[in-house]
Amino acid sequence: MSKPKATYHHGDLRQALIHAGVAVLAEEGMHALSLRKLARQVGVSHNAPYQHFADKDALLAAIATEGFVMLTAALDAALTAARATPLEQLQATRVYVQFALAHPHHMQVMFHHLEHQAYPELQAAAMQAFDQLVTIIARGQHQGLFISAPPAQLAGMVWVFLHGLAALLIADKVPERMLSQATPEELTRIYLHWLFTGIQCMPNHDRS
Amino acid sequence: MSKPKATYHHGDLRQALIHAGVAVLAEEGMHALSLRKLARQVGVSHNAPYQHFADKDALLAAIATEGFVMLTAALDAALTAARATPLEQLQATRVYVQFALAHPHHMQVMFHHLEHQAYPELQAAAMQAFDQLVTIIARGQHQGLFISAPPAQLAGMVWVFLHGLAALLIADKVPERMLSQATPEELTRIYLHWLFTGIQCMPNHDRS
DNA sequence: ACCTGAACACCGTTCAAGT
DNA sequence: ACCTGAACACCGTTCAAGT
């Protein structure tokens, strides 16, 4: 709260700015993120940040990277905590949605950059999160649980679903009747089940 | 290109600003959208816009609303053009992804507002797009094609999937191996099929 | 009712210095 | 190498006027 000066001269101004950025993001949202404000909070002049970031976009990319690291950690924790069966792990991927609801503005920054991947570290961090999905899908395939297809393509389907649900929830676009009495948590479970079984009408296969 | 003055004094400054905004968005992206620039382009003073919009956010909401109207029209066209069977219409919903790829920055604005629905018109326009999905799902259910569940909940699953794929493609987050040699178009078709049949391994049901 | 001009506080970014 | 101060062009927003 009131530790104005710290170790910024020791070479970690970069980390301090990222950290301050994450805090501002959580408290006030993306619109409140400015280089000058972060510099002020951290106690340096308004253009000291340029020593560590080419421009504002580079700082946003660093914050986004940090977000993917956090997401990867959350996924990792949930997947190792889940019982070992791939089906339970598939259900455990709902931490993705939980993470998004817990850090909506961070998610906004993480997926803000459109059609230019000028930040290899960001791309790499995102891929590390994706890798977790690929791993559990591949394991499930070996056990004959999932259909035969490129594991990354199959994992992509799961990611697409998780991200879509997270994005719509965050953007406040999920109407009452779509929830149909369910909580977002419950809806996530239902949808993950449908993702597994499909939405077509079948004779009846009802062991989860 | 060079028609500086027009009919803005006839009471359509509001529409002129929205129109200019859509154009700027398509050409330069969301970061380039400013009230002052639009006012300049349209030939009025920099605070004339405040006569029609409470603030910049209100303009963004209006532009987002316009986006949902466009999306609804695209969905409507594709769904009526598709053969009449619900399954073909389900496949036709891939215009959602096509729309997103054609108007990435507009999509960004449409889903930019987090956790506050202070714009009823925007909400309504978004719901009109969603209604189209609910309709085709409900029809499919009547024909015994889809599983039994609240239609809006089932349609939500489709929306979640379409939006997730669109968002990841737009954000340049879909890696090569996720595509697995497929084009985004092909991937959309494959995923829509999986959405229908599920990703679990089954004895074999292979009529599309 | 609708628009304008001046003004304020805030940005991102650059440049010439400082140590 | 790392930081500062002055400067520039741009914002969103408000207020007092103008017609």
Sorted by sequence, the CB contacts under 8 Å of residue A36 that are 6+ apart come out as: A46
Q: Which three-class secondary structure state does DSSP give residue B208?
A: coil
Please name the residues between 155 and 194 in chain B that touch chain A, using a CB distance below 8 Å.
Answer: 155-165, 167-168, 170-175, 177-180, 182, 187, 190-191, 194
Question: b/e per residue, B66-92, with b = 16+ CB within 10 A?
Answer: bbbebbbebbeebbeebeeebbebbbb
Mean pLDDT over each residue of chain A, to the nearest integer: 92
B198 CA to centre of own chain: 25
Contact A105, B114 (CB under 8 A): yes
Instruction: Answer yes or no: is A47 CB < 7 A from strand C.
Output: yes
Nearest to A14 by CA among A70, A63, A64: A63
Q: Is the CB of A35 under 7 A from strand C?
A: yes
Per-residue pLDDT of chain B (208 residues; tens, 9 = 90+): 323 334 456 568 999 999 999 999 999 999 999 999 999 999 999 999 999 999 999 999 999 999 999 999 999 999 999 888 999 999 999 999 999 999 999 999 999 987 777 899 999 999 999 999 999 999 999 999 999 999 999 999 999 999 999 999 999 999 999 999 999 999 999 999 999 999 999 755 544 4
Give chain A's residues under pLDDT 50. Answer: 1-7, 206-208
Q: Does A106 touch chain B if contact means CB atoms closer than 8 Å? A: no
Cβ–Cβ below 8 Å for A198 and B198: yes
